[in-house]
Amino acid sequence: MQFHVATTEGEYDIEAYVRSIGEDLLVAISGGEKPHIGAVAVAQPRPSLKDPAVTSATASVICYVGHKEDDLAKQAAEKLAARFNTHVVVTAGIHWDNLSEEGIQRVVRHTRMLLDLVMDRIEAESPSPGTGGKS
């Protein structure tokens, strides 16, 4: 599986390239005037600490100095790992110069929209939606 999705709201759109590597997922999220790799998160599924019958995830993040994509990468990796019960690597690099607070909020909203697009597409292309590959 390999695909590209993007938000299409106009201003402050972002995109993701998604590729399966065996049963694992690699997701590159980027956007803005200077797309780059600012942070990398790796996540693996695990039983939830509150309810072991529920799948959760744990992630580790590396963030380059001066970049702020660590939370975005971590949250996306954990959500995907838990949802699809597989190992996930997410890179994130989004940059607009002089972004206003309103612009930041739009990017955050677009990030949520983008993650929904990614999950919907994975489910549409998976033989068993939502089950993932790892046990």
pLDDT confidence of residue 128: 54
The residue extents of the domains of the chain are: 2-125
DSSP secondary structure, 1-66, as one string: -EEEEE--SSTT-EEEEEEEETTEEEEEEEEESS----EEEEEEEEE-SS-TTSEEEEEEEEE-TT
pLDDT tens string 12-30: 999 999 999 999 999 999 9
Residue 38, both tokens:
């600012």
The band of 126, judged by pLDDT with boundaries at 50, 70 and 90, is confident
Give mean pLDDT, residues 55-81.
Answer: 96
Alpha helices in 85-100, H assignment, sequence order? none
pTM above 0.95, yes or no: no
Residue 135, both tokens:
């046990």
**Domain 2-125, what architecture?**
2-Layer Sandwich (3.30)
Element (H, E) at 88: strand 88-95
Residue 79, both tokens:
């959500």
